[in-house]
Amino acid sequence: MTVAAILATKGNAVLTVDQGSSLKEIISILAEKRIGAVIVKKGDGSVCGIISERDIVQEMHEKGSSALSSTVSDCMTSNVISCTRSSTINEVMEIMTSNRFRHMPVIEKGKLEGIISIGDVVKEKIKQAERDAEDMRNYIAAS
């Protein structure tokens, strides 16, 4: 099972922001869209970072309420680890677990093609387990 299968269900929409946006703006986006992270893009459209709710908590812990006027570039992660449409769900799960993060952009030849969260991966794993159990029940019933 690959990332492409998840994208086929959830779609390719990815919310992106500019690195000069304030944390106040990012908090509104995360709250209104009910998401945990957004991808940061440069003016030329290339991905230059990711900012998640965890980065915002850390910035607020360090700077208090003045963190609201910090910019995305002050606290985003620049070294973004991405996957491709052909990455398997097990590969993505392994990378997320070992790096302790819950979001991965899907980038194909430099182009942002979607985003996968740990929730998408778990949902797909549950569907897969249910399909396996159903196949096993059918196999037993037929034998």
DSSP string, 9-41: HH-S---EEETT-BHHHHHHHHHHHT-SEEEEE
Residues forming the site for ligand AMP (CB under 6 A): 36-37, 50-55, 77, 79-81, 101-104
CB of 131 to ligand AMP, least distance (A): 28
Is residue 96 helix, strand or coil? Answer: helix
CB of 22 to ligand AMP, least distance (A): 17
Q: How far apart are CA 70 and CA 49, in angstroms?
A: 15
Q: How far apart are CA 93 and CA 125, in angstroms?
A: 10
Nearer to ligand AMP, 100 or 109 (CB): 100
The residues with which 17 forms a beta bridge, in sequence order, are: 40
CB of 128 to ligand AMP, least distance (A): 23
Nearer to ligand AMP, 89 or 102 (CB): 102
> Using CA atoms in the order 50, 102, 13, 52, what is the torsion angle rounded to 10 degrees?
-40
CB of 31 to ligand AMP, least distance (A): 15
Nearer to ligand AMP, 28 or 58 (CB): 58
Nearer to ligand AMP, 78 or 138 (CB): 78
